[in-house]
Structure 1
Amino acid sequence: MFLDSVKNKETVRRYRNLLYTFLKLIPNQIYHDVLGEVPPDREKETLAKYFVDVARKDSEIAANIIAAYIKEDKKRIESGEISPQTIPNHIKPIKVLLDSNRIAIHWKSLTKLYPRITRGSNDRAYTREEIQKMLEVSKDITDKVIILMYSSGGFRLEAWDYFTWKDLVFFKNNDGSYKGAALIVYRNDPEQYWTFITPESCKALEIYREKWKSEIGQYPKPEEPLIRTVKFPMIRRLNQKGVRKRVEKVVREIGLRPPLPPGKRRHEVKLDHGFRKFFNTNLRRAKVDFLDKEDMMGHKIGLERHYERYQEEDFERFPEYEKAIPFLTISDEERAKLENIKLRQEKSELEKKNAELEAIKVKLDELWADKQRMENNN
């Protein structure tokens, strides 16, 4: 019943794993005290059933178990292991499990235990130079795709658990070069939204797609994961945990994540969130409309999100994103190309306007000549 209430299969998988982490922490003594018996094994389904039975018999004890779990997570926040935003995500699957079994818990009192989320944190964004160094030490195209998509798309770490090839809509210029791409984040999830990625990211994805074909024997199918793990012979997703490990390896290699000195709990740049801050910072520098920026970051602003989009004309916010492409592009060479394209476009526009003005001038001269002839004839 718990699984039936969640529609997206990636969300189901994530919820099952998070729920199992919680259930494994509950000692058998609690089951013995409340139910008079203990689970016969430690499998997910067994522990879920026994926890539901405990909650059904005594919801107050269930609430106390959840409260203890929140308090343990708060300790992990204090140590810098996880962020305050993580706790609600850890509690969601527990709530879904109990709600789907029609067990009432006083959630309001539990959410009051959540730590206060401070908006003005001391961590900073990655700089362009730091991301350039990451790309320099990344010998694998997989790492380059991850870094470029992260920095130009601004999504959160857990989004990697959702992405498939059908989540991308590529935009191209008349000469076949990339203009950019739209990317759907959290497909079929209540938090679903659209963002965009740069032409630079599109080129990296094209190389990755060719590598996929050379290794698998065919191009990736629309429903297949965007990034696959190479540990298994079959196609399996490189999930958020795997992505984080790869990013951490690259960041350590450029010297950005040394061991913390005694008394210091957090690094100057958050491993994954540093890319999201880079995205946010550069959209502001590009003077992208505030509401459009917030929408591209998945912040709820009351705008329509869930209608279908298939081509560039359907993405009314892409012109705003285009302002930020030079700011979000990492390679100096790619930035120079963009500048040349911009100059050519401006030159073309100027030539077009000059031609229009010349045509108007010719027309005015003709009208003036006609007027003069009419006056002379009179």
Structure 2
Amino acid sequence: MDNLDKTNDERHNVIQNPYSKFIYAIRSPETQKRYPRRFKPFLAYANISGNQIEDQLLDLYTKAKSNPRWLQETIINFMILQKDRVSRGEIEASTISNYYKPLKLFCDMNDILLNWKLISRGIPRGRHASLDRAPTIQEIRKLLNYPDIRIRPIVSLMVTSGIRIGAWDYLKWKHIIPVEDESGNVIAAKVQVYAGEPEQYSAYTTRECFLILKEWMEYRSSFGEKVSGDSWLMRDLWKTTNLHFRSRLGSARHPKKLKNEAIRTILCRALLQQNIRVELQEGQRRHEFKAAHGFRKFFKTRCEKVMRPANIAILMGWDLGLSSSYYKPTEDELLQDYLKVVSLDLLTVDESYKLKNDLTKYEQKNQDDIFLIKGKLQEKDEAIRLLSDQFSSLKIVVDQLINGLSTSRDQDQVDSVIKSLYSTGLIQKNS
């Protein structure tokens, strides 16, 4: 009975915990990590006590409940300070909303009533779209040369499917499903993104990327990992050199899932070491393109050259709003639209694969040309045969005519020979 009371007390404490209520309202795991970090500048400004974020938010909650007006004035003064930073060029205007949103969510979830219309009135709107760009295909190909064997499957999948970096936390080998044509050849692969989650959706990746992923899984298997459909698509590294045979086969048998934070670290490190990105200088706040999200922008930019915008949005996991209730393309329609991009090599990241693709197309064109030439030659041979048959028929008739005329002066016989010539079609009556 005491244990039951203790459990009920613990549940009650969780419900009453201001931090737990705040986190409860955030669905995305990545946002759950990001929002508390954005709280820290305000907590420091407001002189909130506590070593852990849970303790600090409890202190903030206690003070706000006893004096809501204090919190409202403190937030306004904090926002004025941030506007001054915008004027000095220290931060972008859009950054202020990053401080505002978690504060409002915390107050909403903990029944702290403030005049948010008054608070938000002075907050600058900022840009809706950032000024960064997508990476170029040359930069992507240079990135693929980074010595970490995981970089090719990571970059290839993100570039060709447009998935968010957070999707790696859910991706397993069974979520990459090859798509075959009528001849049994792999032409693409379906990607089940956020499988089992409310945000689940389907995307596609190229045949090239599927082969890269397959090669990566086979490489892991060759070192002793028991690869199955439930194997995480991206894992930690293991020692592959200076090992005895038995050690070599056992070193990879205990894989650990590589989370999206680690993947982001790999990408940032690779961009720097491949000299694609340089360290930010004093006064600079952003790189030319985002390490992970830039691939998503690359995907969308390339797809927009030939695909329907609504189909792109669906393949990127976006909500179409009211249109989603009426626009219902089939999986095959989405695939065929996606294959238009693939056929133009707009998503081909490996240059060697592109060259091989070009060679295959060239060879196919040559085969088509050879087939066409053979067809033309066959038509000419048939025409020559027909002419030869007609000539033989003409020769027989002419011989008959000559023989007939040479042996008889009978006009009826001459008329009969002429009639035979008409019947062959070799001569025609004058009109």
CA deviation profile, 1:326-353 (whole Å, cap 9, x unmatched): 21011233234545666899999999xx
Q: CA deviation at 1:294?
A: 3.0
Cα distance between partner residues in 1 of 2:368 and 2:117: 59
Secondary structure of the residue aligned to 1:124 is coil
Counterparts of 1:149-298 in structure 2, within 5 Å, are 149-165=157-173, 167-173=175-181, 177-185=185-193, 193-214=201-222, 217-219=225-227, 222=230, 225-230=232-237, 236-260=256-280, 264-285=284-305, 287-298=306-317
Distance change in 2, residues 1:268/1:101 (3 Å): closer
**Counterpart in 2 of 1:49?**
58
Counterparts of 1:1-378 in structure 2, within 5 Å, are 1=15, 2=21, 5=24, 11=28, 13-25=29-41, 26-27=43-44, 30-31=47-48, 38-39=49-50, 42-62=51-71, 68=78, 84=94, 88=98, 96-107=105-116, 113=123, 115-119=125-129, 121=131, 123-136=132-145, 138-165=146-173, 167-173=175-181, 177-185=185-193, 193-214=201-222, 217-219=225-227, 222=230, 225-230=232-237, 236-260=256-280, 264-285=284-305, 287-302=306-321, 303-304=323-324, 314=331, 316-325=333-342, 326-339=345-358
CA RMSD of aligned residues (A): 4.7
Counting aligned pairs with the same residue, the percent is: 23
Cα distance between partner residues in 2 of 1:213 and 1:158: 25
- 2:93–2:125: 8 Å Cα contact kept in structure 1? no
**Counterpart in 2 of 1:366?**
none
Distance change in 2, residues 1:183/1:98 (3 Å): farther
- 1:135–1:144: 8 Å Cα contact kept in structure 2? yes
Q: CA deviation at 1:70?
A: 10
**Scaled by the length of structure 1, what TM-score is found?**
0.67
Secondary structure of the residue aligned to 1:335 is helix
Cα distance between partner residues in 2 of 1:143 and 1:86: 35
- 1:212–1:220: 8 Å Cα contact kept in structure 2? no
Q: CA deviation at 1:320?
A: 1.0
Q: If you compute each CA radius of gyration, which structure gives the higher value, 1 or 2?
A: 2
Q: Where does the alignment leave 5 or more consecutive residues of structure 2 unmatched?
A: 1-14, 16-20, 239-251, 372-431
User: Relative contact order, CA 8 A, sep 6+: which one is greater?
Assistant: 1
Q: Return 146-155 or 111-120, whichever deviates more.
A: 111-120
Cα distance between partner residues in 2 of 1:183 and 1:152: 11
Secondary structure of the residue aligned to 1:182 is strand
**Counterpart in 2 of 1:365?**
none
Q: CA deviation at 1:4?
A: 8.1
Distance change in 2, residues 1:53/1:217 (3 Å): same
Q: Where does the alignment leave 5 or more consecutive residues of structure 1 unmatched?
A: 32-37, 352-378
Q: CA deviation at 1:94?
A: 5.3
Secondary structure of the residue aligned to 1:201 is helix
